[in-house]
Amino acid sequence: MEELAELESRQIQILHRIAQLELSILPLSNNSQRQELSTSTTEARLSAILVHGGVSDFSFKRAPSDYYDRSLEARRDILGAASIHHLCKSIVLVNTQAASDITDCSDRQNSKYYVVVVQYTARFSAEAVKNFLYTINNGKIPKKRFNLRLAPEEISHKLTGFEHNGVTCVGMKTDIPVILDEAIAKLHPDFFWLGGGEIDLKLGIRTSEFINFTKPFIVNCSGS
């Protein structure tokens, strides 16, 4: 496993070096080509991580710049998603009431931060996550020590390496525990879309493979 991890790391480093070399020889005025190259490098890096992690059924698609100004129905058509309910997002949460010695993500069951994947059509319930974390800790941690709030954008970027609307659970800088809303796990067909590491890059993935890859907590944490 250590040798495979080292090989993956070297592959990613090589991709980065190639990208930087290609970027350096592009004319400074060619911003669109630079952006396209940057995005394709992100896609290549995340694809390598997914394949290495045993994921085979996934797809990346580039969305137009006004993607988020469009309706969910239009976004569904752009990505070829099965329904608007298959359009999902990853949000970084911070436990603002964690004990002073809880500062990182080393304890999955009592982490300072979590990434929650929810549908755009759902209403996220922080209270449901709070109750879940209280339960898996067998009530040993007071409920008042769980207060999940949306992490500031700069914190989210620092932890994941991804910008707002580009956050994904693949290739994050920090190994943040993932919470997958139960409604996504029940979707049919079982292939959903989420951020792909760039604002205009989207990742479609087979739900079962996403679960095997990210090892998420599956929690009923939303309503319609």
Q: Which helix (H) or strand (E) holds 133?
A: helix 126-136
φ/ψ bin of 80: left (φ > 0), alpha (ψ from -120 to 50), beta (otherwise): left
The predicted structure's pLDDT at residue 29: 44
Q: Are 108 and 184 in contact (CB under 8 A)?
A: no
Tokens, residue 220? 């009923």
Distance between CA atoms of residues 222 and 192, nearest Å: 17
What's the pTM value of the predicted model, to 2 decimals?
Answer: 0.83
The predicted structure's pLDDT at residue 28: 45
Tokens, residue 25? 């020889």
The predicted-structure confidence for 80-127, as pLDDT tens digits, reads as follows 999 999 999 999 999 999 999 999 999 999 999 999 999 999 999 999
Distance between CA atoms of residues 167 and 151, nearest Å: 12
Positions in the chain whose pLDDT score sits under 70: 1-39, 224
- Residues shown for the chain: 224
